Chains A and B, each alone.
Chain A
Amino acid sequence: MSIRLLPPTLVNRIAAGEVIERPAAAVKELVENALDAGASRIDVVLENGGQTRIAVVDDGCGMSSEELLLAVERHCTSKLPDDDLLRIRHLGFRGEALPSIGAVSRLEITSRPRGSEAAWRLRVEGGEKGALAPAAHPPGTRVEVRDLFYATPARLKFLKTPRTERDAAVDAVQRLAMAWPQIAFSVTADEGRALLKLAPASDRRTRLAAILGRDFADNAVEIAAEREGARLSGLAGLPTLARATAKDQYLFVNGRPVRDKLLLGAVRGAYQDLLAGDRHAMVALFLELPAEEVDVNVHPAKAEVRFRDSQMVRGLIVGALRHALAAAGHRASTTVAATALHAFRAPPSMGMLALQPRPSARELAEAQALYAPPPAAAEPAPAAAEEPEPAELYPLGLARAQLHDTYILAETRNGFVLVDQHAAHERLVYERMKAALAANGVARQALLLPEVVELDEKAAALVAGRAEELAQLGLVLEPFGPGAVVVREVPALLGDKVEVAALVRDLADELAELGEAFALKERLEEVCGTLACHGSVRAGRKLSVPEMNALLRQMEATPHSGQCNHGRPTYVELRREDIERLFGRR
């Protein structure tokens, strides 16, 4: 068969296969176009999950009739004014979206430029451009996509249920909405039901709260950091707000939602040792950097980006998150308290209680004798007798009692906290060990029989390339011909049961996947964690009031003391309002 040039409609369908893989992708492209057009409100209508009809209406700058004709042509765009791919300031730039959508659906665009009196309509069906027709439309653009993928039945077959596709589309809009708080968004389903309705918000926190829920906004710390012209802002959830999947990690580069491995790796690195391995933090991070520092032209759907200086970006994210989380100190999320509140039940009806016979006077006297405090001489220093410290002075308040020999009850200025003594002390011991490890370096045990670990060539080079960094963590290795490394020293902390080969393989995988070696650090921290667990006050141990207060004061002074090493909370706080609500006083 001879080689021939493919007809343009087919070319467009092939391109559509890459750019428009499902209705959500079409919605994303169209909303991005609206954003690039400077819209202040964007309304999306989805019918049958977007399969039957997608409509995106904006009040942006609109298009004249000539522009309209060009817009549906391939590689036609208004967004690269100086033909410079290194300076991409718009969300789109390739001029692929509209022709791609047009190639696989029945597309109808109606637009009226701002300041113009006339609106025009253009139809494209399966790549065939129709004629321009005058229409009635307010300033802005309305794009309607009907019967998406009707021209590519194979693709149609692979769509999921309308519900799944609809959720994906809403998710795409939500992501964009997070990045553009000042713009109003709405998504409506076929039967007129509002799936998403976002009023213009004055700041990001409000918008994020509207999308991710109050919980997130209340239990996240503000991130703001700048380094070498790159700016990171957003919200990072407290470790106690962790989720089972990484789904709730929203990352944006110059207002563009991305799922980039480097960035996800950096987030994981920042939360390392605050979360158990299978928990994931909730974050919404916005990275702004000069257009020439980032290449967005690497992925058809632009979900991945490349940075000129990826180490700087990584450092910025890890540094900023760590700093903010450390500053949050002992804060545990209020969701924990909310769960606790739900656990409280009102007592059974009073009628039942009244039926019980009243205790006789004698019984009461006996009971009182049992519960009476021992004579003052037997208890030399009750807490109140000490200097009367005002509870206001301390965020975690003053210890009032120990419950079940396990929990410390402390009264704070406006409520009380309940501290799990073991979890709290474990974290304190662990943080102390970590500080010692950082200050003194990791002791290394040299190997009598150096262990040769076979890897593939790329992985071996990758691991050997980070030899210096690994040596600081106690693992000394060298390249050993192509495709192997030889391990000469291992961290003494890991003992003599360390499976060197498995460790090095894990490291290689992580370096390839995330660009950083977590496994070694994690194992060291795991050992520290176990030691910390054994070296800390257990549940069931009685503590005196000064001991409890000392623990509370240490918690206030220690970073990350709001959660134990596994991300569980070390304490819950119930505010006075909450208590009052429990008793119906509010």
Chain B
Amino acid sequence: MKLTIERAALLRALGHVQSVVERRNTIPILSNVMLKAEKGKLSLAATDMDIEIVERVPAQVSRDGATTAPAHTLYDIVRKLREGAQIELDAGSDRGSMTLRSGRSTFTLQCLPPEDYPHLAGGELPHTFQLTASELKQLIDRTRFAISTEETRYYLNGIYFHATRSNEMPVLRAVATDGHRLARVEMMCPEGAAGMPGVIVPRKTVGELRKLIDENEGEIGLALSETKIRFAFGEATLTSKLIDGTFPDYDRVIPTGNDKILEVDCKTFAEAVDRVATISTEKSRAVKLSLDKNTLVLSATSPENGTATEELEVRYNAAPMEIGFNSRYLLDIAEQIEGEGVQFAMSDAASPTVVRDTADPSALYVLMPMRV
């Protein structure tokens, strides 16, 4: 394999694939990125056995071939080379090493044979459909904060994507929960998605996916089976295993009869919560909401620091009530609301509260109160 490539193009592609590679591996080849040159393109692939990213970049290929080189080292070298530099990669007949030349720098990297590189791709992915980058971004961004990090309930360590019907309309839904709060976002079901099985996309995949979305406009092709999902962006492809588990029946925990409705300007509310929570030194940062006709008093107490209260003008017409929340959870949700107003539908101080964007019905959040 011999080729010449522009630094920026190689750096960009390496940047995508190297983040999948774990820093420490028990299988040596998993630390490597697979490089394959053919037909005027260099394809780079990296995997951790759960996720695989393949990206192709144009290059001046003078000899086809393939090898695998240490991903993080290669990335660091390319990163430190001068901007606009031309890079020559040469893996000669001696396949144990690859030489990288750029200007006056020469590096020789230890390589492992490409035949040993594990491939995740393969297997039938019967369900295919298209989403725009911004649609997928919405689905992910509004739910990922609620993904659980606790490992015993592994089936909560990801976003649950599934097709269902809402108000008689077919929808594609993304749901995530950590047992304390839940986020549910839906959109019109794209063509071809209606028959898809419900799948749980793992947290790490979500993170990698999110980085790729940022750099790609336009359509993303999704293909999935019950065990794997693939996202195709122009020249890059991300394939991931899915979490093998059953997502809980989340519909059961979304209350429908909450009749105490509070509407408040989202930004004002979030700022007030943030201010009031400053006083509490505890890790749990509890904030109490006291509601009366058209007024909301936010308060927090700390045995060490004292107390804080802030009064807000809101729309509220139900019976007076008090309810406590973890302020971090409130802020997390407020951050997801893009419109001006946020609506809280409550029942009592011990039951789940439903939070919505007043302007946008597609997203819904459920939050459990804190008992102070």
Q: Which residues of A contact B (CB under 8 A)?
A: 432, 436, 439-440, 443-449, 451, 489, 492-493, 495-502, 527, 531, 535
Instruction: Flag B148-159 by CB within 8 Å of A: 1 or 0 each.
Output: 111111000000
- Chain A residues with CB below 8 A from B151, complex form: 499
Q: How far is the CB of A3 from chain B (nearest CB, A)?
A: 54
Q: How far is the CB of B351 from chain A (nearest CB, A)?
A: 8
Q: A448-B177, A449-B179, A449-B248 are in contact. Are A443 and B370 (CB under 8 A)?
A: yes
Is A439 in contact with B303, judged by CB distance below 8 angstroms? yes
Is B286 in contact with A443, judged by CB distance below 8 angstroms? yes
Distance of A447 Cα from B181 Cα, bound (Å):
8
- Chain A residues with CB below 8 A from B152, complex form: 499-502
Distance of A144 Cα from B182 Cα, bound (Å):
77
Distance of A489 Cα from B253 Cα, bound (Å):
15
The residue among B151, B177, B284 with the most chain A CB atoms within 10 A of its own CB is B284
- Chain A residues with CB below 8 A from B324, complex form: 443
Distance of A439 Cα from B301 Cα, bound (Å):
13
Write the chain A residue with the least CB distance to B368: A446
- Chain B residues with CB below 8 A from A439, complex form: 303
- Chain B residues with CB below 8 A from A493, complex form: 282-284
- Chain A residues with CB below 8 A from B149, complex form: 496-497
Q: Chain B at the A interface: mostly helix, strand, loop or mixed?
A: loop
Is there a chain A Cβ closer than 8 Å to B352's Cβ? yes
Q: A443-B282, A446-B350, A448-B352 are in contact. Are A496 and B179 (CB under 8 A)?
A: yes
Is B150 in contact with A445, judged by CB distance below 8 angstroms? no
A-facing residues in B197-251 (Cβ within 8 Å): 248
Instruction: Flag B334-372 by CB within 8 Å of A: 1 or 0 each.
Output: 000000000000000010100000000000001111111
Is there a chain A Cβ closer than 8 Å to B47's Cβ? no
Distance of A451 Cα from B281 Cα, bound (Å):
28
Distance of A445 Cα from B323 Cα, bound (Å):
12
- Can you add 11 more A-B contacts, CB < 8 Å, to A492-B282, A492-B283, A497-B150? A439-B303, A443-B372, A446-B371, A447-B368, A448-B177, A448-B179, A493-B283, A495-B283, A496-B180, A497-B149, A535-B281
Is A527 in contact with B283, judged by CB distance below 8 angstroms? yes
Distance of A212 Cα from B274 Cα, bound (Å):
58
Distance of A432 Cα from B305 Cα, bound (Å):
12
Write the chain B residue with the least CB distance to A446: B368
- Chain B residues with CB below 8 A from A436, complex form: 303-304
Is B303 in contact with A447, judged by CB distance below 8 angstroms? no
In-complex Cβ contact of A445 among B180, B303, B366 (8 A): B180
Distance of A493 Cα from B370 Cα, bound (Å):
11
Is there a chain A Cβ closer than 8 Å to B50's Cβ? no
Write the chain B residue with the least CB distance to A502: B152
Is A447 in contact with B371, judged by CB distance below 8 angstroms? no
The residue among B248, B282, B324, B367 with the most chain A CB atoms within 10 A of its own CB is B282
Write the chain B residue with the least CB distance to A489: B371
Closest CB pairs A-B (n = 4): A492-B284, A436-B303, A446-B368, A444-B371
A-B contact pairs, 29 of them (CB 8 A): A440-B301, A443-B286, A443-B370, A444-B370, A445-B326, A445-B371, A446-B350, A446-B368, A446-B369, A446-B370, A446-B371, A448-B179, A448-B366, A448-B368, A449-B177, A449-B248, A489-B371, A492-B283, A492-B284, A495-B283, A496-B148, A496-B150, A496-B179, A496-B180, A497-B149, A498-B150, A499-B150, A499-B151, A535-B281
Is A440 in contact with B303, judged by CB distance below 8 angstroms? yes
Is A448 in contact with B304, judged by CB distance below 8 angstroms? no
Q: A446-B368, A496-B148 are in contact. Are A531 and B283 (CB under 8 A)?
A: yes
Write the chain B residue with the least CB distance to A432: B304
Write the chain B residue with the least CB distance to A527: B283
The residue among B303, B366, B371 with the most chain A CB atoms within 10 A of its own CB is B371
Write the chain A residue with the least CB distance to B152: A499
In-complex Cβ contact of A448 among B253, B303, B350 (8 A): B253
Q: A448-B253, A531-B283 are in contact. Are A492 and B370 (CB under 8 A)?
A: yes
Q: A443-B372, A446-B370, A449-B253 are in contact. Are A492 and B182 (CB under 8 A)?
A: no
Is B283 in contact with A445, judged by CB distance below 8 angstroms? no
Write the chain B residue with the least CB distance to A500: B152
Write the chain A residue with the least CB distance to B371: A444
- Chain A residues with CB below 8 A from B350, complex form: 446
